[in-house]
Amino acid sequence: MSSDTVRVLLIEDDPIQARLIQKLLADRRDPSFAVTVADRLAAGLKRLGEGGTDLVLLDLILPDSQELETFVRVKAQAPDVPVIVQTGIADAMMAGRAVEQGAQDYLVKDHITSASLLRSIRYVMERSRARTGEWNSPMFRLAQQQFLKAAQIMGLDDNLRQRLLFPQRTQMVSFPFRRERSEDIETVFGYRVQHVLTMGPTKGGIRYHQDVNLGEVAALAMWMTWKCALMSLPFGGAKGGVRVDPGTLTKAELERLTRRYTSEIISMIGPDKDIPAPDLGTDERVMAWIMDTYSQQVGYTVPAVVTGKPVVLGGSLGRKEATGRGLVYVIEEAAKHIGFGLTEATAVVQGFGNVGMHVAKFLADCGVKVIAVSDVTTGIYHPAGLSIDAVLGHVERNRVLAGYPGAEPIGNPEMLELPCDILVPAALQQQITIENAPRLSCKLLAEGANGPTTLEADEILHERGIFVLPDILANAGGVTVSYFEWVQGLQNYMWSIEEINARLRTILIDAFGRTLRRARQDGVDMRTAAVIEGVQRITDAKLLRGLFP
């Protein structure tokens, strides 16, 4: 469920019951609730007509309306707003009829507890979102707009444009997993999306985050397609996700969730079909569980079904730090192109997870002064440069940046606008927007995260002469070493770290050079140039393969 406030309209004439519900929903976070009470149906309908209601909690017996008619009138007024009906024990049959007519759930008044009420609301909101809002994601719109811009500049034919605008295969699953208290079972939604099946198996990470939806996963799968094509890897793009906040799960819960999710999508994945990897909220331990679950199902060990797994299970040397390392390889190239030296440069890094912490470390190793970094708990700032080793030590001990003693705290919005040479968003999507793009004060924006910049912000950055290393180029180190890991798995042969880093550098520098040439030749920004490079390779392949039948 989103972390936004859920606007609840409670239509209830009994003031004691109304107070009880308000009390149960008060002071809740993630989500929080704004409850409005109407004590007559007429007042409730009026309020519904004004819009802005996410959910109705409805008593069916009201002074001005009785039984099923109450529900029917609410539904007629706001057909898209989910309704949970409340009834007395004696009226349970009536609740069943309301559910048949389209109520999402019902609660028996005398049995309502904080847990039952929250669970009911959560599932109702999830189901309602699953039906209506799944594709309706700003990230998917962004990915489609970026593609359409490139397609228009390329003069791509209509048929290819339409074929690439939506993923070829999507699977959405809803599945239960057991929480620590074994009587608590939670149901969550998961996804696996394969955007292009033309190039070979599909490849893409798995994200655990409380806001994941189909549109977001589809956007990420589309970006994977262009990224793999830009790097000349023999993969189409894919992505997966589970809508859950991994920070709220114990290790055992995370394992149970991962194993169940794997078995739900097992028909889609495989070393020759679709190969998952880590992304936001997942790591090498999660990959080990996926590999084990898959291997248990097929009856033998299949290391090449995932990448980003621990080295002892066939993971590649250098995979964990590959995205950060790759970013620094292309930052070096971009700095040469722009004309500044890394030893005199300053950097700001948003996000201190897998990508962010390695970027910060490798930049510091190159002599860059990293003046600020952040994670979900806080930002920390030191104008003379942070000691990244000390920060890494703090995070190793405490898991988060909060409480780091050697720097000033700084808010995320202010941090992005700090004067610096290199700004690296390496946390979430849509961080650089029309609001803050005019105030960014960097020479180079190197996108560690996927989709951190909106389309409008891109135009502003282009006009302002800020050089952008777009995500599909800048963070491609991860999938490139994943490709090496997959090849090593198929060959049963380990490469040395020197060989991996050298090959990674060659591939990234080549892609940087091609993107820069394309940008100059077509007179476009680096992102559009990178997307064009990727789309061109996919469309060439599609045309050569022809159309079946």
Contacting residue, 147, 352, 467, 484, with ligand NAD by CB under 6 A: 352
Dist. CA 121–CA 127, nearest whole Å: 10
To the nearest whole angstrom, how small is the minimum distance from the Cβ of residue 492 to ligand NAD?
A: 24
Q: Which stretch binds ligand NAD (CB under 6 A): 5-13, 192-200, 447-455, 484-492?
A: 447-455
Is 278 one of the binding residues for ligand NAD (CB under 6 A)? yes
**Residue number, 368 or 395, with CB nearest to ligand NAD:** 395
CA distance 114 to 211: 23
Binding test (CB under 6 A) with ligand NAD, winner from 355, 416, 432, 437: 355
Q: Which stretch binds ligand NAD (CB under 6 A): 115-123, 166-174, 275-283, 501-509?
A: 275-283
Smaller CB distance to ligand NAD: residue 258 or 354? 354
Give yes or no for residue 412 binding ligand NAD (CB under 6 A): yes
Q: Does residue 91 bind ligand NAD (CB under 6 A)?
A: no
Q: Which of 349, 449, 457, 460 binds ligand NAD (CB under 6 A)?
A: 449
Strands 369-374 and 379-381: antiparallel
In one-letter notation, the amino acid at residue 141 is R
Report how many residues bind ligand NAD under the rule CB under 6 A: 24
Q: Are strands 105-108 and 185-194 parallel, antiparallel or unpaired?
A: unpaired
User: Residues 406, 434: contact at Cβ < 8 Å?
Assistant: no
**Which residues does the annotation mark as catalytic?**
239
Closest approach of Cβ 376 to ligand NAD, in Å? 3
Closest CA to 62 of 115, 12, 19, 3: 12
Q: What is the smallest separation between the CB atom of 100 and ligand NAD, expressed in angstroms?
A: 42
For residues 371 and 416, what is the distance between their CA atoms, to the nearest angstrom? 11
- Of 59, 279, 284, 525, the residue at the interface with ligand NAD (CB under 6 A) is 279
Give the pairing type, strands 444-446 and 467-469.
parallel
Residue 276 binds to ligand NAD (criterion: CB under 6 A): no
Site for ligand NAD in 468-487 (CB under 6 A): 475, 478
Contact with ligand NAD (CB under 6 A) among 68, 99, 428, 487: 428
87, 170, 350, 480: which one binds ligand NAD (CB under 6 A): 350
Judged by CB under 6 A, the residue of 68, 376, 392, 402 near ligand NAD is 376
d(CA 45, CA 436): 40
Angle between helices 497-522 and 214-230 (to 10 degrees): 90
Tell me the C-alpha distance between 217 and 354, whole Å: 19
How far is CA 444 from each of CA 22, 49, 152, 440, 459, rounded to the nearest angstrom? 49, 49, 27, 10, 15
Window of 39-47, 103-111, 339-347, 368-376 that interacts with ligand NAD by CB under 6 A: 368-376
Residue 173 burial (10 A CB sphere; 0-12, 13-18, 19+): middle
Cross-sheet strand order for the sheet of 346-350:
408-410, 379-381, 369-374, 346-350, 422-425, 444-446, 467-469
Structure tokens at 224: 């994977």
Contact between 448 and ligand NAD by CB under 6 A: the answer reads yes
Name the residues that contact ligand NAD, by CB under 6 A: 278-281, 323, 350-356, 374-376, 412, 426-428, 448-450, 475, 478
